[in-house]
Amino acid sequence: LTRGGLMDIAARHLAPRGRLAVILPHEAAPDLIAEGRRAGLGPTSVTTIFSNRRKPPRRAVCQFAWASLGIAAEENELTLLNPDGSMTADYKAVASEFYLDKQ
Instruction: Give, rounded to a whole angstrom, the gap between the first and last alpha carbons of the chain.
Output: 40
- Cβ contacts of residue 101 below 8 Å, gap of 6+? none
Question: pLDDT (tens digit, 9 = 90+) per residue, 52-72?
Answer: 999 999 999 999 999 999 999
CB–CB of 76/47 below 8 Å? Answer: yes
What span, in angstroms and rounded, lies between the C-alpha atoms of 101 and 57? 27
Write out pLDDT tens, residues 83-94. Answer: 999 999 999 998
SS3 of 71, please? coil
Mean pLDDT of 29-56: 96
Give mean pLDDT, residues 13-32.
Answer: 97
